[in-house]
Amino acid sequence: MRSLREPTKRLLKSPAKSGPKKTELIVALDFPEGESALKVMRTCADLPVVWKIGSELFLAEGPDWVRERTKEGFRIFLDLKFHDIPNTVMKSAVQAASLGIEMFTLHLAGGPNMIRAVRDELEKKVTGKKEGKRPSSEARRPLILGVSVLTSFDQPTWDDVSFAVGGKTAKVADSVKRLVSQARYWGVDGVVCSPHEIKTVRAADPLLFTVVPGIRPKGAKAGDQARVMTPKEAATLGAGAIVCGRPVTESKTPKTVIEKILRELDTPVGMPVKES
């Protein structure tokens, strides 16, 4: 039996439908197995957090583990970054949606046919729109998030990749802008972008929901993230949600770290963050 209060399950909505809202906190569960992840989740069950499950944890524990977490009321972001032929990604997205998750990722580089196949099938399977059914208020598909340029890329590394693909180098910001400018028309609800690309994304399409990894509280190590920012800085720029992983999961007191980040997000610009 759980001694902690069950977390309230809330669905994030696309800004196109819900308008501006407070920046959400997503915690990346950077664990190789479920026991450690679940310990952190249950310790922090009373906090307004979305939990990100990536490839490592998903492959270790499988879809049933994810389904159990959503049944318990935990809000889940499945970050598997689908990228394959349209039919394969579409079927994968349907399986992901069946787990009760709130959002999932795919690569924008998969192109419009892949993304539209996913969007159309989820609308059909989850909301029944394509079958002429009246959508239920409870029948909500997960948010589709497009990945542009991974936050682990710095400019020199992206020069290598962009040259290999296109025969000439490209600025990270320019590549992000070109990808996201068409993203919503292809069918995504939002994009994953570096904190340093928030302005670029909002200029290209202000209706896109932005999920921003590469977040490190002041004083934390950057790790393998090349383009980082503090929670408050990203929120001030208009991030829809920020993602923070190892500063939380590697801490001996993860709840304290999460609470501090949440206080930072609640603190008005220019005001000091309360320590407790």
Which tens digits make up the pLDDT trace of 58-100?
999 999 999 999 999 999 999 999 999 999 999 999 999 999 9
Q: What's the pLDDT score for residue 221?
A: 58
For position 220, what pLDDT does the model report?
A: 55
Q: Spell out the SS3 assignment of 159-182.
A: HHHHHHHHCCCCCHHHHHHHHHCC
Give every residue of the chain whose pLDDT is below 50, as ranges.
1-20, 135-137, 225-226, 271-272
pTM beyond 0.95, yes or no: no
pLDDT at 131: 54
pLDDT at 147: 93
pLDDT number for residue 127: 67
Domain ranges of the chain: 15-265
Check residue 5 and give its pLDDT. Answer: 33
- Write the class of the CATH domain 15-265: alpha beta
Q: Provide the annotated active-site residues.
A: 81
Question: pLDDT at position 1, please?
Answer: 35
The per-residue pLDDT for 69 is 97
Q: What is the rounded distance in angstroms from the CA atom of residue 46 to the CA atom of residue 49?
A: 9
